[in-house]
Structure 1
Amino acid sequence: MNKPHITQAMIDAYDDYTHLTLDRRDFMGKLTKLAGSGAAAAAIVPLLAANSAKAAIVAEDDKRLKGQDITYPGSTGDMKGYLVYPADRSGRLPAVIVIHENRGLNPHIRDVARRIALEGFVVLAPDFLSPLGGTPPDEDRARGMFDRLTPGQVSADGVTTVAFLEKNELTNGKVGVVGFCWGGGAANNLAVASPDLAAAVAYYGAQPKKKEDIAKIKAPLLLHYAGKDERTNAGIDAYKAALNAAGKQYTIYVYEGAQHAFNNDTSEARYDKQAAELAWGRTIAFLKEKLS
């Protein structure tokens, strides 16, 4: 059977569904019209969505790493998270927070945390749905829970995560953050909220809403955007202007031809290997420079 042809309109419809409307019936109606039939639409959905069954790049039991689920203090209660670091660690290492997409702390984000840990970091991937009981297995249910979180609460939990890692016996006290999609926006907001943050990387993340908050940023920023991500990219110019006006240190890359979520290799239709590898190399080099 030939692989279905996926158009930009289909990708845009999926993006609207997962980030704006959360109305699956409306999305499937649009996709059916675009695909020509319900059967074609049903075949396309798995290519647009993330596939949690796809094999991890770094196995959970990789002997090069030590990883465990932990609980630590959040702003209003306990936070759950996945902590991972090199098994052959000697001395204290820089720390990196990995903030998940709007699907919560899922297998893909745990895999991303392990990838970063292999580069010589102590990595903590928090579950920002912890105040609501944690990330459920069903991704549609998880997406619906994010509307119950406030940006202030998310940033406060991020600040306590920074503090936890700063004092952790495994780390050198320097903490950076990498966020993807919803987590990219959370990473931008954490840079505003935490004067102790040493570096922030945002992948296709929403920009801080209040221009006056940008003056509070202390950490250098590395901002990755997808060329075909019109929704997120609409805020780039204003963000650049505010960062320039405040004299902040930042670098922006726009990966032409790439889709929103281009780094997520579990989403066949949106993953862009070339853009992902280029952005990843830049991210690791940036973190090593700023956190060593």
Structure 2
Amino acid sequence: MSTLDAWTHGEHTHDGTTHPVYRRGTGPGVVVIHEIPGMTPEFLAFADEVVEAGFTVVLPHLFGTPGRPVGAGYVLDTVRRVCVSNEFTKLATGVTTPLAGWLRSLARELHAELGGPGVGALGMCFTGGFALAMMVDTAVVAPVLAQPSAPFPVGPTRSRDVNLSPEDLAVVKERAAGGCQVMGLRYRQDPAVGQRFETLAHELGDAFVRVEFPGRKHSTLTLHRQQEAVDRVLGFLDEKLRA
């Protein structure tokens, strides 16, 4: 079972908000954001793979219990906690997650320390779109969205929404037009993703790198891990961060 024993525990504070962070590895920086319900053993195993591929990985701890396995009760309890938090958008459309400022600050700090062309940002499931929001800051040059699922796809409008304000979407489109690619991964019939890949393809054009797998599974890099998905992510990070 993967644990955090080998990771260095710290904190990051921005604009009065503090969250724990875990760090490990050497090389270009990558911020990897856990999915619901939290830092599961499968999530930590993937993070270990990114470290072993030669990256400095920072894991923000946003909710859940680090190392606790997935379970139905655990998932439901985490969803309840997320739903009452004012740090996240759950149903609102055309809104950037309030946590974006904190995540961008974390990315800037990592980039300032490590240098290079920038850092990677990878979100999963409920946090998938957070990587897109982080792209508003030029410190992020390799955003990866694994099965982005917020806002919750209740109805066609929310199903198409990419969890960004119009202003932030305009910046993302400008950066994409300037050459910053965005990778997205999903199972084609995953209902949680809704129609977001169609929105991303329409808004970003060829800058959206679309990686899809058959089936109705969900977690491409963790619980329903696809080796091709992991390989594509590591290759994307390597290409963008070692330029």
Matches within 5 A, 1:70-149: 70-86=10-26, 93-129=27-63, 135=65, 138-147=74-83, 148=85, 149=87
Distance 2:216 2:203 in 1: 25
Task: Report 1 or 2 for greater relative contact order, CA contacts < 8 Å, sequence distance ≥ 6.
Answer: 2
Evaluate the alpha carbon distance shift between residue 280 and residue 290 of structure 1 in structure 2; reply closer, same or farther with a 3 A threshold: same
Residue 42 of structure 1 corresponds to which residue in structure 2? Answer: none
Alignment of 1:207-218 (within 5 A): 207-210=162-165, 213-217=168-172, 218=175
Answering whether residue 138 of structure 2 is matched by residue 195 of structure 1, we say yes
The amino acid across from 1:178 in the alignment is L
CA distance in 2 between partners of 1:250 and 1:84 (Å):
29
After TM superposition, give the deviation of residue 82 of structure 1 in Å.
Answer: 1.1
User: C-alpha separation between the residues in 2 aligned to 1:155 and 1:232?
Assistant: 20
Name the SS for the 2:211 alignment partner: strand
Partner of 2:203: 242
User: Which residue of the partner structure matches residue 283 of structure 1?
Assistant: 233
Q: Greater CA radius of gyration, 1 or 2?
A: 1
Query: In structure 1, what is the Cα distance between the partners aligned to 2:216 and 2:127?
Result: 18
2:193 aligned counterpart, secondary structure: helix
- In structure 1, C-alpha distance between the alignment counterparts of 2:98 and 2:198, rounded to whole Å: 27
- Name the amino acid aligned to 1:185: G
Specify whether residues 72 and 231 from structure 1 end up closer, same or farther in structure 2 by C-alpha distance, changes over 3 A only: closer
Q: How many pairs does the alignment contain?
A: 209
Deviation string 1:135-169 (CA, Å, 9 cap, x unpaired) is 4865433222212123442111111110221123x
Residue among 201, 209, 217 paired with 1:251? 209
- What SS class does the counterpart of residue 208 from structure 1 fall into? coil
Percentage identity across paired residues of the two chains: 21
Residue number among 95, 106, 120 corresponding to 1:176 in the alignment: 120
CA distance in 2, matches of 1:210, 1:242: 13
Structure 1 contact 226–256 (Cα < 8 Å) conserved: yes
- Checking the alignment, whether the CA contact within 8 Å between 1:99 and 1:178 is kept in structure 2 is yes
State the one-letter code of the partner of 2:11: T
Q: Indicate conservation of the 8 Å contact 2:10/2:20, yes or no.
A: yes
User: Aligned match of 2:98 in 149, 153, 159?
Assistant: 153
For residue 224 of structure 1, the aligned residue among 173, 185, 192 is: 185
Q: Structure 1: how far apart are the matches of 2:192 and 2:77?
A: 23
Aligned residue for 1:101, secondary structure, equals coil
Tell me the CA shift for residue 241 of structure 1.
1.1
CA contact (8 A) 1:155 1:190 kept: yes
- Structure 2 gaps, min length 5: 69-73, 90-96, 150-161
Asked whether the equivalents of residues 25 and 57 of structure 2 are also in contact (C-alpha less than 8 Å), the reply is: yes
**Alpha-carbon distance between aligned partners in 2 of 1:209 and 1:79, rounded to the nearest angstrom:** 22
* Structure 1 gap ranges (5+): 1-54, 87-92, 266-270
Would you say the 8 A contact 2:118–2:138 is kept in 1?
A: no
Q: 1:163 aligns with which of 91, 108, 111?
A: 108
Q: Which amino acid aligns with 1:216?
A: V
Indicate if the aligned counterparts of 1:184 and 1:202 stay in contact, CA closer than 8 A.
yes
